[in-house]
């Protein structure tokens, strides 16, 4: 059974990065999400047409707008990220929202999520739209410079969703998958977009 484990949101804040000349500079991002609803504290959180209440989105080409209102990520991938971060010398545990997701879920994976599928979570209905294409801000968030390449290579992208029916969400809710046309999965869409780059990532 698929389940909602956490609902997360974040405010825009500066991230420290470096340009090609290694000069520090700041960029704004809301990739740092905090859990508003967890299994331990399943507080209800409002979700509107443009996303989770209290969640800010800085670069709308990456996250935001009607078709990328909510970012969903499988909790099962967290072990992978904990391992590769450890190999890069980062041993801090990953809390819900660490990968910039709004919804941390279990039992939903890229090969079995189809574009157009609808996800009913309590009174909220989402529509699966597209895989994530990570940028350098994900590298900063993860704490090592090849994190975005690892996401592309692994295919552990999660999925952006549109909000079909707004309402409130609370951690612990069951997720019902309502099949769409089922032409392309999230994994297939990701491979079509990035397949030619796979062999040259490292």
| pLDDT at residue 197 is higher than 60 | no
Q: 3-class DSSP state for residue 9?
A: strand
> pTM (2 decimals)?
0.93
Contact 100, 71 (CB under 8 A): yes
Q: What tens digit of pLDDT does each residue of 152-170 get?
A: 999 999 999 999 999 999 9
Give the Cα separation of 177 and 161 in Å (integer): 13
Distance CA 169, CA 173 (A): 8
User: In sequence order, what are the beta bridge partners of 104?
Assistant: 6, 73
Q: Which domain holds residue 29?
A: 2-200
Taking the C-alpha atoms of residue 142 and residue 149, their distance in angstroms, rounded to an integer, is 12
Range in 25-29, 180-184, 193-197 with the lowest mean pLDDT? 193-197
What is the strand order of the sheet 45-48 is part of?
51-52, 45-48, 167-169
C-alpha–C-alpha distance, residues 182 and 184, integer Å = 6
Confidence of residue 47 (pLDDT cuts 50, 70, 90): very high
Q: Is residue 164 exposed (0-12), middle (13-18) or buried (19+ Cβ within 10 Å)?
A: middle
pLDDT digit string, tens, across residues 79-121: 999 999 999 999 999 999 999 999 999 999 999 999 999 999 9
Question: What CATH number has the domain bearing residue 61?
Answer: 2.40.33.20
Our count of domains for the chain comes to 1
């Amino acid at each position: 059974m698929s389940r909602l484990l956490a609902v997360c949101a974040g405010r825009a804040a500066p991230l420290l990065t470096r340009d090609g000349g290694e000069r520090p500079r700041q960029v704004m991002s809301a990739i740092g999400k905090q859990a508003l609803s967890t299994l331990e504290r399943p507080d209800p959180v409002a979700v509107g047409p443009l996303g989770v209440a209290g969640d800010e989105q800085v670069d709308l080409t990456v996250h935001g707008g009607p078709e990328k209102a909510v970012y969903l990520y499988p909790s099962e991938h967290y072990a992978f990220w904990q391992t590769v971060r450890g190999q890069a010398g980062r041993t801090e545990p990953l809390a819900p929202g660490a990968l910039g997701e709004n919804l941390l879920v279990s039992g939903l994976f890229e090969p079995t999520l189809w574009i157009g599928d609808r996800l009913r979570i309590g009174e909220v209905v989402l529509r699966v739209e597209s895989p994530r294409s990570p940028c350098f801000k994900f590298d900063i968030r993860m704490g090592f410079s090849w994190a975005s390449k690892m996401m592309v290579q692994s295919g552990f992208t999660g999925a952006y969703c549109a909000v079909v029916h707004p309402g409130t969400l609370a951690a612990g809710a069951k997720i019902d998958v309502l099949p769409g046309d089922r032409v392309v999965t999230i994994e297939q869409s990701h491979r079509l977009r990035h397949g030619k780059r796979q062999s040259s990532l490292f």
